[in-house]
Structure 1
């Protein structure tokens, strides 16, 4: 079997490598965004629920409509419980 060779100038070779690295990084970011966490912070929880008020978010929590976990001052909200709440209340 005869081998085939492709010849690059040094600058063209490094340009190709940069493009490949750029595409791999872009693909990696897309995969990370798709692999979402089971727990979200208040900002993400409000986005999921379509609300702007932290008070409304806390009321949903205190009324046991959604689930949260607290460690120290950090409160994380269960993405699954938010999605279940939205599903139960769809019209």
Structure 2
């Protein structure tokens, strides 16, 4: 059971970094720092969009429209942090106590 929780924590860490890289790349696109027509940059951006958009979509439905400001990555990061803390503070000690 402990191995499963550690794998979940690892997956959450990977998603955390995907969200951060996606947000930074979107800023670089917005300020024309990187060329979106470059095939490598376009493929990275497409991958990040496909990886993070399913996380953002339900949150964007709930959040109010703030114009050009998208707070959904921040909400996703907060949710990931909350889930990680629940696992570390409550589930892992419970697994140790249970001896599973």
Instruction: Please confirm whether the aligned pair reaches a TM-score higher than 0.5, indicating the same fold.
Output: no
Normalising by structure 1, what TM-score? 0.29
Normalising by structure 2, what TM-score? 0.27
Give the helix-richer structure, 1 or 2. Answer: 2
Using CA pairs below 8 Å that are at least 6 residues apart, which structure has the higher relative contact order?
2
